[in-house]
């Protein structure tokens, strides 16, 4: 297991298992399979914008997912990682509940292990085994929507991790086990 203790391994495994056992009712806010799901993003580090239908006619759209993976890439290294579709569905659901017409501002999407290690050196708030490194987390804000309100919409779903960073004005969401914290 390398540098990972048995206890760390069990904690991580338990978190992954719990994330897989989220009740189907938690996703009940998603539209029927025949519906279209569209997301819009603005990357605060690169200035890139994207508005794309990522799900249509009962299936995820591979070309749209590639575009999303690109805009959510590690802007420091340029590395691209497949983004968890459940994460996309989660933020889609949040956007629908808030009835927002503005793009999500991306503070951080995918993070390479190298970038994550660099950020850990500068801040105690960066997890060693961050879900960002798996394409399962995103740090966002939604212009025109107070981050406290965005946080509440995420918490109401009771899906994944929800971190609230009011001083930095963003909310972290991920597809791990349901948990909350304030940074």
pLDDT one-digit tens code per residue, 87-125: 999 999 999 999 988 999 999 999 999 998 888 788 767
pLDDT one-digit tens code per residue, 123-177: 767 777 889 999 999 999 999 999 999 999 999 999 999 999 999 999 999 999 9
pLDDT at 33: 62
Are residues 104 and 40 in contact, defined by beta-carbon separation less than 8 angstroms?
Answer: yes
Share of the chain above pLDDT 90, in %: 71
Q: Cα 95–68–29 angle (5° rounding)?
A: 30
pLDDT at 135: 97
CATH class of 6-182: alpha beta
pTM: 0.81
DSSP state at residue 142 = B
Are residues 118 and 55 in contact, defined by beta-carbon separation less than 8 angstroms?
Answer: no
Residue 7 makes CB contacts below 8 A (sequence gap 6+) with none
Give the helix ranges, DSSP H, for the chain. 6-20, 62-71, 85-98, 113-122, 147-157
């Amino acid at each position: 297991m390398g540098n990972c203790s048995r206890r760390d391994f069990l904690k991580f495994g338990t978190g992954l298992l719990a994330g897989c056992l989220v009740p189907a009712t938690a996703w009940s806010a998603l539209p029927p399979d025949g519906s279209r799901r569209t997301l819009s993003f603005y990357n605060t580090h690169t200035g890139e914008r994207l508005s794309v239908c990522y799900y249509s006619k009962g299936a995820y759209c591979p070309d749209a997912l590639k575009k999303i993976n690109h805009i959510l890439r590690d802007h420091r290294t340029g590395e691209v990682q497949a983004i968890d579709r459940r994460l996309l569905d989660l933020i889609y659901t949040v956007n629908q509940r808030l009835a927002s017409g503005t793009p999500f501002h991306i503070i951080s999407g995918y993070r390479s292990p190298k970038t994550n290690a660099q950020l850990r050196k500068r801040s105690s708030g960066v997890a060693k085994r961050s879900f960002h490194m798996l394409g399962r987390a995103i740090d966002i804000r939604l212009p025109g929507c107070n981050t406290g309100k965005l946080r509440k919409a995420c918490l109401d779903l009771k899906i994944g991790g929800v971190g609230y960073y009011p001083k930095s004005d963003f909310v972290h969401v991920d597809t791990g086990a349901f948990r909350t914290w304030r940074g």
